[in-house]
Amino acid sequence: MTSHVKPLTLTGTVAVVTGASSGIGEATARQLAELGATVVLAARRIDRLTQLAKELGKQALAVEVDVADANAVKSLFDQVMSAYGRVDTLVNNAGVMLIGPAHMAPLDEWKQMVDVNVMGVLNCTKIALPYLVEAAKSAPRNVADIVNVSSVAGRKAQPGSAVYSATKFAVGAFSDGIRQELASQHVRVTLVEPGFTDTELASHINPVILEKMQAAMAQMPRMTAHEVADSITFAVTRPTGVSISEILIRPTEQER
């Protein structure tokens, strides 16, 4: 008898990863495919997704989708079901961080963060839910997974990122509520809250604000996208009877 816990295999399972065109989503898709899952790559930049799907081979499908658009999300899952007939894992990773002082922020940037970071998670979860519940009843794992990517900002608000934080706090509340609802149906829900990670996320910030932040940002310790993705793949490969509810992951030198 071994004292080690054997990770679940992902062979024969289907994972949908939103925001798979860069950063944490792309890294997660690569790792899930390496672990045997068929991976559906979802985001708006279809050129990036198509390139990644080519690299991953038969195990991947690229689908252009704006997660804020419920009809587009419905069409995404229609395509997944017609291609593969099941959804075992949903990684709600797509997100935008348009930060800056409230008095300078255009209202449409706030709306975009709410639409993508909150409505995107709700749209995908709502539409995937019946498929996840069904997958959890069957082999190979007898369990299904929703992983919601929040942030350290989903635990602590700061000046300059009040609305981004508000969206991530919402993801945290939704995750814990839905986790309790779905526990008896063997759909696990994991909230992943990364600290600073080296991705394209900050590149969408208003250039005037970005310039002011540049000196501080250059000093920040950062994790790689793969280091964060590793926490996502850890959660979805736990044994059927184990659910990781929350992972707060920071670079070692990040204090807050």
| One character per residue 73-112, x = contact with ligand NDP (rule: CB under 6 A) | --------------------xxxxx---------------
Q: Is 74 helix (H, G, I), strand (E, B) or coil?
A: helix
- Which of residues 35, 62, 67, 182 is near ligand NDP by CB under 6 A? 67
Which CB sits closer to ligand NDP, 13 or 197? 197
Residue 59 is given by DSSP the state G
Q: Among residue numbers 115 through 174, which ones bind ligand NDP (CB under 6 A)?
A: 116, 149, 151
Q: Among residue numbers 27 through 56, which ones bind ligand NDP (CB under 6 A)?
A: 43-45
Span from 4-12, 31-39, 198-206, 248-256 in contact with ligand NDP (CB under 6 A) = 198-206
Q: Is 205 helix (H, G, I), strand (E, B) or coil?
A: coil
Beta carbon of residue 116, minimum distance to ligand NDP (angstroms, whole number): 4
- Which of residues 62, 113, 196, 205 is near ligand NDP by CB under 6 A? 196
Tokens 């499908």 locate to: 61
Which CB sits closer to ligand NDP, 23 or 100? 23
Q: Among residue numbers 208 through 227, which ones bind ligand NDP (CB under 6 A)?
A: 225
Q: Rounded to an integer, what distance in angstroms lies between the CA atom of residue 189 and that of residue 31?
A: 19
Tokens 């708006």 locate to: 44
Interaction between residue 175 and ligand NDP (CB under 6 A) = no
Lookup: tokens for 153: 């900002």
Contact in structure between 68 and 123 (CB atoms under 8 Å): yes
- Which of residues 13, 18, 125, 161 is near ligand NDP by CB under 6 A? 18
Contact in structure between 136 and 70 (CB atoms under 8 Å): no
Which CB sits closer to ligand NDP, 190 or 199? 199
Active-site residue 164, yes or no? yes
Q: Rounded to an integer, what distance in angstroms lies between the CA atom of residue 66 and that of residue 18?
A: 9
Radius of gyration in angstroms for the set of CA atoms belonging to the chain, rounded to a whole number: 18
Interaction between residue 25 and ligand NDP (CB under 6 A) = yes
Lookup: tokens for 10: 């992902």
Closest among 226, 72, 255, 94 to 63, alpha carbons compared:
72
**Dihedral sign (CA 24, 28, 34, 40):** negative
Q: Rounded to an integer, what distance in angstroms lies between the CA atom of residue 104 and that of residue 108?
A: 12
Beta carbon of residue 121, minimum distance to ligand NDP (angstroms, whole number): 9
Return residues touching ligand NDP (CB under 6 A). 18-19, 21-25, 43-45, 65-68, 93-97, 116, 149, 151, 194, 196-197, 199-201, 225
Known catalytic residues are 164
